[in-house]
Chains A and B, each alone.
Chain A
Amino acid sequence: MATANGSEAAQGLRMIAPPLVYAILMLAIPLLTILTYSFLTDGYQTIIREFTLENYRAVWGDPIFRTLMLRSLFVAGLVTLVTVVLAFPVAYFLSFVVAPRHKAVWIFLITIPFWTSYLIRVFLWKVILGYNGVINSGLKSLGIIEQPLSFLLYNTGSIVVTLAHAYAPFAILPIYVALEKIDRSLLEAGRDLGESRLMTFWRVTLPLAMPGVLAAVLIVFIPTIGDYVTPTLIGGGKIPMVANLIQAQMLDIDNKPLGSAIAVTAMAIVGVLALVFLFLNRRFLKVRQ
């Protein structure tokens, strides 16, 4: 059983070795390879082993990269904002209104759509928003509009709606968990000390829910920024995001060093933003203690 510390460490390392080795081989080495590639030079069909910063210069000098990166950041930011703002009342409802024995059912209902085919869900939004789609054909058959509304699809708004739908549970659950952790007597104390319901929410509930909100922000923002399917399907290829650019450079144009440099740059930007969020989160956590 428990033995001296040294051998506990050895046992632990032996235990984690299989998944760790797998993650090193299939994740760490590939990521390091990408990092290395980004400093090498592209020769046609091959890679010249010569250190260069040219790829990064090209990436930062490239107006297309800047446009797509900014668009990705903008879309991801908007998606995050919309998702979290829409999700908060649902999380609040789950935590404060739903009877405890019904909570599991509600959570189950909210998570189910997340586990159904992402591709099909995204495609269905195209069906819903499309030129001859559900909304247009429905409105037309009801006689509300004469001509289909063309602004529904192939724009940033449709991408935002689709992604907000895809990441809804990611936003609801962390906020819900944070709200559940709040000691209910704190709210009664807030009321007891003379605050209105609204002010109690503002001064007690919301600050205490902040770590959950920040977790939700992080958990929605990071995957949306690298989303590939939605811009391809919903944007109709007209509104590519950074993932599409990486794919194009790596595979279609086959300039792996440049593609790698774009990937690394995108990851670095996301990483810096994530660190900022984590820093904010830590500050909120510190206030709580």
Chain B
Amino acid sequence: MRGGGLRAYALLYLLFLYAPILLLPIFAFNSGTIIAFPLQGLTTQWFEQMWANATLRRALGNSLTIAFSAAVLATCLAIFAARASTRYRFPGKGGALGLIMMPLILPEIIVGLSLLVVLLAVGVRLSILTIIIGHTLICMPYAVAILTTAFSSLDRSLEEAAYDLGETKWSAFRLVILPLVMPGIISAMLMSFTISLDDFIIAFFMGGNEPTLPTYIFSQLRFPKSIPMIMAVGTVLVMMSILLLAIAEYFRRRGAARTGQTSSGGLL
């Protein structure tokens, strides 16, 4: 086989990438109270403990509310940005898109803290809402990136053809563009949802007293007693992320297949 050495290296690299994730379920089902080898016995008590934890349920509820809202908001805003970027020429386009994409390259702590300072200065009370505002901001560039790809792979004459065949601009958009970019919209939403669900920094600084899953996990990491349960939570979280990603990838490929392109490249 060609590139045998490289293949072995790549597999080792994958092992390095997956090592932490593979450890999660191992210790989530381990009956030992400390995270160490040798393994003790098989148990589901950490999952039971997880379900019984009221704070955790509240954090989960908050996280889902925030992730859903941020995903919808970020994707809606991103549709406008992606459409403007692929379809129109206008003065200041580079700057405008640069600002929208900026959270990608700014340290999140600076984005979060500066937003926090302003919100506090104008007297906004920290709550789930402030987390949603922050998450929308950091999810938007990812959604724009996905949707720009979706919009730019569209042949511009499709829209003109619909218009030529008697539709209005809006109905041409609704009947032709929207169905064709729908897979992109769905994968942008799922991606934003995943990012929001995983985000710690903004939730930590802008959430006031409202816990989200990551901030709750962070608070429990200090207590060795809670660690096995956190492993169970982590297992569930990782499973959820992978599921969402698989769905997002499915829609992305279906979108590509629909417009007759070969799909390559990944989620980034």
Contact = CB atoms under 8 A, between A and B. Distances in A.
Asked whether any CB of A lies within 8 Å of a CB of B in the complex, the reply is yes
A27 B6 contact: no
A9 B109 contact: no
B81 A27 contact: no
B243 to A, nearest CB: 11
A8 interface: yes
Nearest to A22: B77
A61 interface: no
B7 A93 contact: yes
Q: Most chain-A Cβ atoms within 10 A of its Cβ — which of B7, B19, B20, B23?
A: B20
B114 to A, nearest CB: 4
A267 B111 CA distance: 11
A69 interface: no
Contacts of B264: 100, 103-104, 107
B14 interface: yes
Contacts of B121: 33
B64 interface: no
A35 B115 CA distance: 12
A30 B267 contact: no
Contacts of B140: 19, 22-23
B241 A115 contact: yes
A246 interface: yes
A251 B78 CA distance: 32
A232 B227 CA distance: 17
Contacts of B110: 31, 34, 226, 246, 263, 266-267
Contact of B137 (A26, A90, A168): A26
Contact of A15 (B18, B84, B114): B84
A167 B121 CA distance: 34
A97 interface: yes
Given A30-B117, A141-B37, A117 B84 contact: no
B137 A115 contact: no
A226 B107 contact: yes
Interface in B178-225: 194, 198, 200-201, 205, 214, 217-218, 221
Interface residues of A, number: 96
A119 B200 contact: yes
B69 to A, nearest CB: 14
B52 interface: no
A137 B36 contact: yes
Given A119-B214, A127-B35, A12 B93 contact: yes
Contacts of A26: 115, 133-134, 136-137
Does more than half of chain B's interface fall in helix, strand or loop, or is it mixed? helix
A91 to B, nearest CB: 10
Contacts of B194: 115
A18 B160 CA distance: 25
Most buried by A among B114, B214, B242: B114
Given A93-B3, A229-B200, A107 B100 contact: no
A30 B81 contact: no
A14 B108 CA distance: 29
Interface string A22-45: 111011111101100100000000
Interface string A246-267: 1100110000100110010011
27 contacts: A8-B89, A12-B87, A15-B83, A15-B84, A19-B140, A22-B77, A23-B99, A26-B136, A30-B118, A33-B114, A33-B117, A33-B118, A89-B9, A115-B198, A115-B267, A116-B21, A117-B198, A120-B24, A120-B217, A120-B230, A121-B21, A134-B35, A168-B16, A173-B268, A247-B113, A247-B205, A260-B117
Interface of B: 2-3, 6-7, 9-10, 13-14, 16-21, 23-24, 27, 34-38, 76-78, 80-81, 83-85, 87-93, 96-97, 99-100, 102-103, 105-111, 113-118, 121, 133-134, 136-137, 140, 144, 160, 163, 169, 194, 198, 200-201, 205, 214, 217-218, 221, 227, 230, 234, 237-238, 241-242, 245, 249, 253, 263-268
Can you list the 7 inter-chain pairs with the closest CB atoms, starting with the nearest?
A226-B107, A12-B88, A12-B90, A124-B20, A137-B36, A97-B3, A107-B266
